[in-house]
Chain A
Amino acid sequence: DTGVSQDPRHKITKRGQNVTFRCDPISEHNRLYWYRQTLGQGPEFLTYFQNEAQLEKSRLLSDRFSAERPKGSFSTLEIQRTEQGDSAMYLCASRQQDPDTQYFGPGTRLTVL
């Protein structure tokens, strides 16, 4: 399978715990995006990388959220001190420099108890 992959697919955690998600983009895609999607809503942009550089961050990305893409390939999204409001689907997408088509992964569903 050469699509975007995300791990884990599901995560259940208790409030206050830290969680980390991983995204593996399509090979040679130099741009990588993170989104959050809650039930009945469209995806909300969180942050964007070009290679290893984080070039854009939404104000939705509070201090408890941090994303990295250390070698310009896979990326991780960490949420510290999780809150019930963090429960959502976290989507990753990647694309080449051209065209603008973003390819989405299947998402990681986070449930905070």
Chain B
Amino acid sequence: GENVEQHPSTLSVQEGDSAVIKCTYSDSASNYFPWYKQELGKGPQLIIDIRSNVGEKKDQRIAVTLNKTAKHFSLHITETQPEDSAVYFCAASWWSGGSYIPTFGRGTSLIVHP
């Protein structure tokens, strides 16, 4: 089965700095890579995703890069704000039964200090 490693487990930055979270996956069949933000007491919320035929995708202050050869992908958040503080999860997904089935990383707790 798929195995997703996520680093770091905790990331502390000052407001305005950039934050980078990295993930690696093991199954070359995975071809959809979403990133989720989870705030305390809430379910995960999709913030950005990328497919295997794309190397980079941006959405305002958030960007994701994918290297399929090396089997790793990264989340980049620029100009961090205190409201970015949350746990972030990466996932590698494969297609089965008419849907993408994700395997999640263990999460990164991002703390943005004002």
Partners in one complex: yes
Using a CB–CB cutoff of 8 Å, the interface residues on chain A facing chain B are 4, 31, 33, 40-45, 48, 50, 55-56, 91, 93, 100-107
Q: Which residue of B lies closest to A93 (CB)?
A: B43
The answer to whether A41 touches B107, judged by C-beta atoms less than 8 angstroms apart, is yes
Interface residues of B, dominant DSSP: strand
The answer to whether B100 touches A100, judged by C-beta atoms less than 8 angstroms apart, is yes
- Cβ of B53 within 8 Å of any chain A Cβ, yes or no, is no
Given A41-B107, A42-B91, A91-B44; 8 other pairs, CB 8 A cutoff: A42-B105, A42-B107, A43-B104, A45-B102, A48-B97, A93-B43, A100-B34, A104-B45
Q: Which residue of A lies closest to B109 (CB)?
A: A40
The answer to whether A106 touches B98, judged by C-beta atoms less than 8 angstroms apart, is no
- Cβ of B41 within 8 Å of any chain A Cβ, yes or no, is yes
A91-B43, A105-B43 known; A100-B32 Cβ under 8 A: yes
CA distance A41 to B89 in the complex (A): 9
CA distance A44 to B97 in the complex (A): 17
- Cβ of B46 within 8 Å of any chain A Cβ, yes or no, is yes
A40-B107, A42-B91, A45-B102 known; A56-B97 Cβ under 8 A: yes
The answer to whether B107 touches A100, judged by C-beta atoms less than 8 angstroms apart, is no
**Residues of B contacting A91 in the complex (Cβ-Cβ under 8 angstroms):** 43-44
Q: Which residue of A lies closest to B46 (CB)?
A: A101
